[in-house]
Structure 1
Amino acid sequence: MNNHRWQCIDAGSDYCPCYLAETMDCITCSHLKGKEFCDCDWRGVCIYQSFTFEGNRKKDPRVDFHAEIVERKELGDKIIVFTLRVPHSFARQVNQPGSYIFIRNKDFGQYFDIPISVMYVDGQKDLIKIAVEIHGVKTKTIKNVEDSMSIRGPYWNGVFGLEHLKQAQNANCLIVTRGIAQAPAILVTNYLLRNNNAIDVLIDQGSTDYNFIEEFCKVKNLGKCDLYEPEGIELLQEIMDKKSYDLIFIGASDYLQKRLYDSVEELKKKKVVTTNNNEICCGEGICGSCTIYDMNGIPIRTCKTQFIKG
């Protein structure tokens, strides 16, 4: 069995070592899991050394700050797109696939933190865009936000399969996405375009009834369908039959991801990147809300853990 299938997205960052190092639950470092020998296979700066250098303590964690709302755009009754002004370093840190932040109406406590994918980044003006779908207790508190909101971040594990994504160059890539999952698909698409990949997009606007991809990405081959209907599955199958793709991104619910896998056999043979749809509450691997178990029964904190092939 490969013991190195999972790796922390925060390893080697400004936030490593974290709380999990202090409790001997580090995702990557074997010493900080309680083992007496080094078995981490980590190629960056030694996490155990960093922990010792910090006096056997974690580095400073992410903190909340207030971000100015530069623009607020309502798309129907359920979708609000916010343009937020953030520090320059923060804009740079979240300008990569899988980036997400926690937002909150500043009049409410931390129980109301909401994990939201970063949709678009303007690094020159230090602006980020997020799309919030209003449907539950937490998101309803965002409807009344006007001038600023509380933000915590950056976080980077909103997408699974980042290793495949970052290796894709001069390749044929297919983006398949539905509804509000277009938001994380935008950073993915623009990242692939920067690396000279050819992009085709198949989009199901879903209940959002809005085409974010077309607005924020310069893609030429863009098709539309309803992926919950047989015709949508047939169109996906037809697209994959006509062209060989090196990488496929699926931005959709877990249910729809499984439906596509079960219906289109060719997907099982491809490098696939997907959205992380698990319930994220703290983002630090502490609360356990996002925990799943792999085939060996090992608990995986999906708010900050990536699968590593090998």
Structure 2
Amino acid sequence: MNVLSGILPLYKPAGFTSHDCVMKIRKLARTKKVGHTGTLDPDVTGVLPICIGQATKVADYLHDAPKQYRATLTIGFSTDTEDASGAVLETKTIDSSLDEEQIRSVINRFIGNIEQIPPMYSAVKIDGKRLHELAREGKTVERKARPVTIYDIVVEEINLHTEYPAVTYTVTCSKGTYVRTLCTDIGRALGYPAHMSYLQRLRSGPFELAQCVTLEEVEAAVSAGGLQKLLYPLDHALFQYPAVHIPAGRVQAIRNGLSQRHLRPDAWQVGDKLRLYAPDGTFLALHEVTEIDREKGVESKPVRVFPEGEA
């Protein structure tokens, strides 16, 4: 009997928490070994990779991978949750001088390495308690700013012909980025209270919206006995790292957890990670470059080895 294992690129519907999706998949897959790779708020839709079976071993790598979102920033009022679900905190009439050029200029200032203060309505823990629990108790506590990276922002649409102007954009960002906070910070930089009125995750690591399946499609696959066909191999969680095919004579050594010497190092640096494959394409291990020698080549050592049949 084959053990179910792989990554399910799930389309998370509105109204479900990420944990709800995990519990649903656990029930359908009949296994407790299920985990998601990055929380989405209940109102947010989009890409939510679910790791099943042995693939849970690489969930952290998907969680750490860059994400891409489509968001709508609404300018003119802020909320306590920084999104459309919260209570209005502040409103301000929009000055007629606000124009597209000003909005684009301010947004571009947020591309790069920035710092964000986590919102009170978030899962961040302070002194053992989650911020959203404190927020629901009516408490506000001091939060330290955290570094995040905004790789790119592409403005798709600006609507100034409404009481509360709206800006829709796609953003590619590092893990830990709060797009809600990005919206409020952009608004503040424009001189207005603002909030995020819409959010959809378009990409998580190597998985994009077009690859996703719905919960209904998962249920149908389970009924037909074909859930495994919807799953991607666990090495898809590591596609951000270069692939290296090793000689057949070294396959067993790699499976045994030994290091590997690479004679053609390309542009690798110490600390870089590599995906090691057998000549037939079987995924063997994730390695890390530990030494670079101009004459001897590059040495890598295992971060995690995937036994035969596991990957």
Instruction: Please report the TM-score for the alignment, with normalisation by the length of structure 1.
Output: 0.21
Larger radius of gyration: 2
TM-score by length of 2: 0.21
* Greater length-normalized contact order (CA 8 Å, ≥ 6 residues apart): 2
- More strand, by proportion: 2
